[in-house]
Structure 1
Amino acid sequence: MPKIGRFKNDASREAHDRAYQAMEALWPIPSTQMDVPTSFGSTHVRRSGSGKETPIVLLHSVGANSLQWHFAVEDLSRDRVVYALDTIGTAGRSVQTAPLADESDFGVWVGEVLTELGLDRVHLVGYSHGAWHAALVALHAPERLASVTLIEPGGVFVKNSWRVLFKMIRFGMRRTDENIRKMGEWLSPGYDLPESQFACAKEALNYRMGIGWARLLEDAEVQSISVPTLVIYGAETVVANPTLAAARITDLLPGAEVEVYPGTGHGILGHIPDLLLPRISAFAEQHDRPSDSSDSVAIDRSPSEMAD
């Protein structure tokens, strides 16, 4: 039965809100915050940047919130507005009041947010669990997407191994600071969360999500994705097999661009932002102007070329 996300109790909600407030100090540039109504409850949105280029909308990973993008927003908003969302049904300042009963409801939710913000066309960028949500929007409501970027979409293009899932469950059963940090080191070697972000993620463990988990997309679903797509993996990630995922994406969605960065894992977003953020920006710039998809050509640039 579809559920509505909620904190375990009022004390948990208040503790998370204090941690969220402390984490706001990480946001490096001015922002405007707003709560926009949707059919599923109010969605908290953080707006930064300016410029006439197509806006970017950011969807965060599990256990996180819009502030996860604190180290990315300055680069991504140099010539455009960036909107970071607290995903409905997750810990954050969005307040879910109705369940997302079907996967297509993610498209409805994002569409209603865009309508309230007055946005006709956006680049959608999702990380980890947010990449799953972005993929669902691309599947079910692509009309207003200029492009979609999926960063570390575990379980979407290839199945997660039972060994990995079992290990994550074991970590989740013992929620001590030491064990949570060990899980972080395993998932994201080379990247340590800022202390305020760690504290917020820890408190988010007391939130019971109401939005489900990613599943493997069927071949026909992958083939039906019609918007320009960039998929990014860390070569050492534990949430997917990047080689198999890249082969399947290339086979089923030949117009998509796939990047696999060596020497980094699931925490790629915080580990190598100097490589990743220019790549994301370049892809957005490539698709800022509407064009006939029959005339578009995928540009495959390697990480080394992006660094030059």
Structure 2
Amino acid sequence: MSNHPPIIPSRSDSGIPYYQTYEESLALWPVDYEAFYLSTRFGQTHIIASGPKDAPPLVLLHGALFSSTMWYPNIADWSGKYRTYAIDIIGDKNKSIPVDVDGTRKGYADWLLDVFDNLGIKKAYMVGLSLGGLHVMNFVLRAAGRVEKAVLLSPAETFVAFHQNFYKYALGLVEPNGVDNFLKWMMGDRYVLHANFAKQFHAGVMWQDERRHSKPKADGFPYVFTDNELQSVKAPMLLLLGEHEVIYDPQSALDRASTFVPGIEAEIVKNAGHVLSMEQSEYVNKRVLSFFT
């Protein structure tokens, strides 16, 4: 389906087993796509693009360790109306190749500005899940003029701090059965990841690469935005949270967002947890499109 040959990593690249699982997940992509790299100040950014080239741009930012392949249940609906750009977040486990990620909030916004500029995007719609939602909020606060409308799905921190259990399960990922325990905690009995995607997630967890595991910084992520920051949001925003969210209390996040973010639309989605774009894809796909139009 891709019009671009994938970049072949060097033989010394420890990510080769991971790249193979990424391609297997990409086989789930239900529409035509182009996969390609863009140069930025911070390294090579990998992008999966779908939809009509003359349609309005929609930028998608994935959850941590999930990569852009996670959007396969959503992309058919969204790329029917938009030129979608699923962007592998630099510094996370995915196909982007980080060189000089400074890991600060300003640095991440500058990285996305490079991506927008190199794609020729003046202004885009944006959707981000978890870590991606945190990136979207950060970008809206630093480059509001480049965002038409923004959707945050289960954003990491952003409005409220992580529950202590998050660190327990996240730090336990590399233990025996750690991945299964983490996914069970996050998704319960509601949803099972496709075998291809589960294999990719596991490979990402096990891939040891210093460049793709930046140490947290005081001015980096995760981050809970201040009241003043939230009050300064200029772009129209939709917040969707799962009723079975476990990384924090979803009602507390919704209440704080609704109190401080001007004009935000916020709701709790039934029968969904953290990865609501997969767990309730049909509802999320329609809700996002109705918000954009």
TM over 0.5: yes
Between the aligned partners of 1:183 and 1:102, the Cα distance in structure 2 is: 27
CA contact (8 A) 2:51 2:81 kept: yes
The Cα of 1:93 is off from its aligned counterpart by 1.7
User: Which of 8, 32, 35 does residue 33 from structure 1 map onto?
Assistant: 35
Q: Residue 91 of structure 2 aligns with which residue? A: 89
Residues 75 and 185 of structure 1: is their aligned pair in 2 closer, same or farther, counting only changes over 3 Å?
same
Matched to 1:231, the amino acid is: L
SS of the aligned residue for 1:92 comes to coil
After TM superposition, the structure 1 = structure 2 runs for residues 259-278 of structure 1, keeping only pairs within 5 Å, are 259-278=267-286
Q: Secondary structure at the match of 1:104?
A: helix
**Which residue in the other structure is 1:281 paired with?**
289
What secondary structure is seen at the aligned counterpart in 1 of 2:72?
A: helix
- Alpha-carbon distance between aligned partners in 2 of 1:140 and 1:157, rounded to the nearest angstrom: 17
Are residues 1:233 and 2:241 paired? yes
Q: Is the 8 A contact 1:44 1:85 kept in 2?
A: yes
1:262 positional shift:
2.1
Q: Distance in 2 between matches of 1:231 and 1:54?
A: 21
Within 5 Å, give how 1:195-234 maps onto structure 2.
195-205=195-205, 206=207, 207=209, 208-210=212-214, 212=216, 213-234=221-242
Larger mean Cα displacement after TM superposition, 158-167 or 129-138: 158-167
Distance verdict in 2 for CA 1:42–1:156, change over 3 Å: same
1:184 maps onto 2:192 in alignment: no
Q: Conserved in 2, the CA contact under 8 Å of 1:100 and 1:211?
A: no
- Number of corresponding residues: 275
Matching residue of 2:193: 193
The 1:164/1:66 distance shift into structure 2, 3 A limit, reads closer
Alpha-carbon distance change, 240 to 22 in structure 1, aligned in 2, over 3 angstroms: same
Could you tell me whether the CA contact under 8 Å between 1:36 and 1:113 is conserved in 2?
yes
TM superposition outliers: structure 1 runs of 4+ over 4 Å: none
Q: For 1:191, give the aligned amino acid.
A: Y
Q: Is the contact made by 2:129 and 2:275 (CA closer than 8 Å) also made in structure 1?
A: no
User: For residues 104-183 of structure 1, what are the structure 2 equivalents within 5 Å?
Assistant: 104-169=106-171, 171-174=172-175, 176=176, 178-183=177-182
Cα-to-partner distance string for 1:102-150 (whole Å, 9 max, x where unaligned): 2012221111111111111101110011111111101112221001111
Output the TM-score relative to the length of structure 1. 0.84
Q: Which runs of 5+ in 2 are unaligned?
A: 1-10
Deviation at 1:257, TM superposition (A): 0.6
Q: Separation in 1 of the partners of 2:174 and 2:77?
A: 37
Conservation of the 8 A alpha-carbon contact between 2:131 and 2:155 = yes
1:101 Cα deviation (Å)? 4.4
Preserved CA contact (<8 Å) 1:23 1:197: yes
Q: CA deviation at 1:86?
A: 0.9
User: 2:119 and 2:13 mapped to 1: Cα distance?
Assistant: 32
| Equivalent AA in structure 2 for residue 181 of structure 1 | D
Counterpart secondary structure, 1:26: coil
Matched letter for residue 173 of structure 2:
G
The separation in 1 between residues aligned to 2:290 and 2:54, in whole angstroms, is 16
Which deviates further from its counterpart, 201-210 or 56-65? 201-210
TM-score (norm 2): 0.88
1:14 deviation in Å? 1.2
